[in-house]
Structure 1
């Protein structure tokens, strides 16, 4: 089945590249690198073939292991790495040598490069500490966003944070010496109230202004042209709420939302309703739809992957869906060998509607070496 899928996807991608190029939407960064344009174009084409599966910190650690070469809970269960690899920039702003989850940035860099070399896709979020008081991303004691805007008391400090982030991103290069394209997901879960950039402490106008400043600064001042920008909300009940803090089409490439399962019935209904609205937004704004974070902590349902998640994914055109990290045997969102849902996850992996790394590698989605 997987060999058939590879052939089908390859044929589909080649056909679309030759016959539907005019329908492809270009990145919001008009100076995007060739590899970044190739990635975005090919990700759009692949939406018609299936949804790519991702996992946060997949090759950095898992249940009962950490920083072991060629390791992955996803691969240990299915035989393949995920197609999308999630990472975090948090603590980089403080010149820390390790990220928020204790992974050395030197090790993270190596794993990002390895994912790129095998044809995988890297995406970064940033649980940035509150620049106003150096408390965590979950600090909501003040309206920090307004103070980070140009003219604000902590604007220079925020610029310093962005410079450190840009310096690190510039070190992410493939063996060919080219900048690795990155899906950058700033200020995620922005319709929630648990982060300092969230809706409880920030009005929409200030949030939009900070988003636009951030992307402009990275593109124009730091000369980063390998970023594809992901606008990712939390729960929402209408397209109006989803778009209330939207920074504009010139600052976004992907639209999506984070959602976690706290019970199958609620999850299926919420996922279906939000995906329906997301599809509408993506079509109207010519963006690519995705689910940047999801999962069921501990995966207590043995058939959750094929009975709950897969039917919803199959109904909509999505680029990727990413499960959250496997931190411990209590806090994990992808199965590991022997876990209750492992057998069902193999069925999920085998579905023609889902794409893992082994399907992605032959497609040369970055166009490396192409004219």
Structure 2
């Protein structure tokens, strides 16, 4: 009862974050589960109120630690977990015990469930190896996409790999046996030129056909109705660039792009501002939800990067549903600060800005349509 009263009081404080008058659109899967419907509606209602903050592999490892219980670099600095948790399916296609970043899938499953239980949101990308030749996702030596389509030479292997991924995703369940909703982001950065599914390795029609086959197969054959589909490009400068390989509204729920800060901060801000605005126009026209699917500044060498570079661009467009920063993989490869890092104090200021939503604010909003008992620390 004490926890329930606390939830009611907290919900009263944050309920104003929801836009009760928002025009809501259903998931593109007309058989989506109840929790998936709720999540998609909740994320639409939050548009305009703020941006959900996410971090890839957040609770699995960080700078100077790996697989510690109840740990997160985001939490170590701010006191809260992020609102959104990124994961990777890569290596599940080989029935490996570990994903591409060395996380045991058994542990990843546990962390996904913990995030869901505390009211957080899980999103998966998939750096799938090339089914045509078993090389890595970064192999671009062939037009592999056409070989994965029905009647293609590698179609059977591709279907086998989808079966293995579907089997794993079916194990991602809540405490009552319900399927945990997943923001599924296949073939990300598709307008780049570095993955086997990118624009330099296949025609737009071949790519669209593979996307449609993949989504249809997972829905219809494998009965995965807990997936919200994220279409995520790399560089783009026009609507035509963004939509050149778009598979159709019935195959997409979120529209996003990946945009990293490198040497030129002015270029990053200029591109981010232009692309967020352009993407919002496209998302509105297609009745989809916009997001910044990946971003960050490796090693964050600028002490006030969060509030002086990223925040001003996000504030221009509060209809961006979420922003996901990349992983903290090594001491020379990280995208959120750890305790004592040069931008840690500024990250706290970013966290305290009420337009940024972390787990501490998200839990009370019950985005799955029910109050899920917050995680017992395990």
TM class by shorter-chain length?
Answer: over 0.9
CA contact (8 A) 1:255 1:288 kept: yes
User: RMSD of the TM alignment (CA)?
Assistant: 1.4
Q: C-alpha displacement at 1:12, in angstroms?
A: 3.9
CA contact (8 A) 2:10 2:364 kept: no
Helix, strand or coil at the partner of 2:82: coil
Scaled by the length of structure 2, the TM-score of the pair is 0.94
CA contact (8 A) 1:5 1:352 kept: no
- Summarize deviations over 1:257-307 as a string: whole Å, max 9, x none: 001001211100010111111011011000000011100000000000000
2:355 corresponds, among 330, 353, 356, to 353
Q: Which residue of 1 aligns with 2:16?
A: 11
- Summarize deviations over 1:45-90 as a string: whole Å, max 9, x none: 0112100000000000000000000000000000000000000000
- Summarize deviations over 1:299-354 as a string: whole Å, max 9, x none: 00000000000000011111000000001111000000000000000000001110
Gaps of 5+ in 2: 1-8, 373-378
Scaled by the length of structure 1, the TM-score of the pair is 0.96
What is the alpha-carbon distance in structure 2 between the residues aligned to residue 212 and residue 328 of structure 1?
36
Q: Which residue of 1 aligns with 2:162?
A: 162
CA contact (8 A) 2:191 2:235 kept: yes
CA contact (8 A) 1:9 1:46 kept: no
Map 1:247-326 onto structure 2 (within 5 A). 247-262=247-262, 263-316=264-317, 317-326=319-328
Q: C-alpha displacement at 1:7, in angstroms?
A: 4.9
Map 1:177-188 onto structure 2 (within 5 A). 177-188=177-188
Helix, strand or coil at the partner of 1:319: strand
What is the alpha-carbon distance in structure 2 between the residues aligned to residue 242 and residue 148 of structure 1?
24
Mark the CA change 1:7 to 1:302 in structure 2 (over 3 Å): closer, same or farther. farther
Give aligned pairs, total: 362
What is the alpha-carbon distance in structure 1 between the residues aligned to residue 148 and residue 11 of structure 2?
47
Helix, strand or coil at the partner of 1:183: strand
Q: Which residue of 2 aligns with 1:134?
A: 134
Gaps of 5+ in 1: none
Helix, strand or coil at the partner of 2:27: coil
Q: Which residue of 2 aligns with 1:97?
A: 97
Q: Which residue of 2 aligns with 1:88?
A: 88
